[in-house]
Structure 1
Amino acid sequence: MACRGRRPEHSGPPEVFYNKNEAGKYMRNSRMIDIQTKMAERALELLSLPEGQPCYLLDVGCGSGLSGDYLSDEGHYWVGIDISPDMLDAALDRDTEGDLLLGDMGQGIPFKPGSFDGCISISAVQWLCNANKKSDVPARRLYCFFSSLYSALARGARAVLQLYPENSEQLELITAQATKAGFTGGVVVDYPNSAKAKKFYLCLFSGPSSIVPKGLNECTDGGEERESTFTNERAPYRTARRRVVRKSRDWVLEKKERRRRQGKEVRPDTQYTGRKRKPRF
């Protein structure tokens, strides 16, 4: 875990930290783009949505729209909410397909009950654990967020929130407020033995308790996968999603077919579909 001085949350409020300069990094830095996209892919996998069915999703802390772009590529519709105007401006510059809303998740999610089929969030929830003003009470802001999110989700829907907890106490605070708001679920830990690749995903269920997915593990010699849960159910988890190489011909054809099912105008398939173009002079 990063030391205190290096954590973005300790640099000030998120709307100040994520300024134009920081937003530009999310548009130009290929490493940051790749990491955000992979975490969005994993979050969507953990949502376990119906195969081949477009869903209406919420992206909390959507930033410059990188995670939303992945949702669009997978055929889903989405709404993003973020507290940083500069990050949302970057999302508009990138022509993201989702609807964007400026808002503070610590003050609640302003949507009608049952609006969404699922929710993802990448690297945002831990910001609620810091008090940037005297009036900010982390436990209260977390509960406001989780209770309004619980209401905004359709019954039985999931929320998968990738986060960087500072310590075990902070993680307990977050999960306690989620439970208080009505959620069940648990924490999925991917690559627990890796200092760089380790990722935490809070997998929440609105409605009846369900099986908490297993975390990924880089070990292939029988090393244990880890997850913590605040339900009593544990069982192996298998994903039915077929892995297709991003930007390959099969990936392009699947994306075009999804858009046709959505009633969108799509160019006909040819022998050149998905073929890489030669660089221009």
Structure 2
Amino acid sequence: MTTIISSLAEISAPYDALFCDLWGCLHNGVAPFPEAVAALQAFRAKGGRVVLLTNAPRPAPFVKATLDKMGVPQDAYDLIVSSGDAAQDAMFAGAVGRKVWHLGPEKDNGFFTQVPEEWQGQADVERVSFDEAEGIVCTGPFDEINEVPEDYRPKFLAAKTRGLPMLCANPDIVVDLGDRRIYCAGALAALYEEMGGEALYFGKPHPPIYDLARRRLSALGGADEGRILAVGDGINTDISGAVGEGIDTLFVTGGLAHDQFGSDIDAPDAELLRSWLAARQQDPLYSIGRLR
């Protein structure tokens, strides 16, 4: 049964590192949450490592640029590991072929242009038209503000008929951009699978992103097994993925599911929370209204 806490400091002592989600935990897509920033800074000040583990479909340098622009201070974290990083590895390894059609906004072009050092000089991946493609790389809708997954049903029917595999660079279904909910690549991939297409995933809750995070954390000194805490507001991504990896979890109830636990976002109703978790067969070790 999950334990509701009021601050990260209450339970942080046994942990060497945090795997902390971004959207809904550290920021709302527009601005950082000051209390969350302070909590991460305090954890680091006591010697902990903070890995920002995000399902953003862009490589870490682009995620960092977004955080800098948003005003997230760099002393709140040690490194960033994104779904884009893990999916990039798969793309350059040829998971969906060497000629790919990019389904996603222009802001995600860095997925193709920012070639990781380990893939420099190796076989290229070429972005081509849909008709020429051997596979699809999906980083989200072309117009994430106005489009919905159903808009892509005709294109997906053609893709499925041709047997094109889809690499999904962000398994999230939705995120909240300020007070507006928008669809992510995961929603498009889910529709493609529902239609009989093949989708491949590398972000949370799937193992590749956790393997990558552990490797990069190891380069900073690592953390003992059992001394990592995953923080997130996505019950089917952040929490489910961490549990599957044997990592303790802190569920931020004030994120995606903020309207499910009573009128006070900062103080989730215990019975509503436990009933909601039971319906989803999830039991995070800890829960908190907002990260602070």
Higher relative contact order (CA 8 A, sep 6+): 2
TM-score after normalising by structure 2: 0.34
TM-score after normalising by structure 1: 0.35
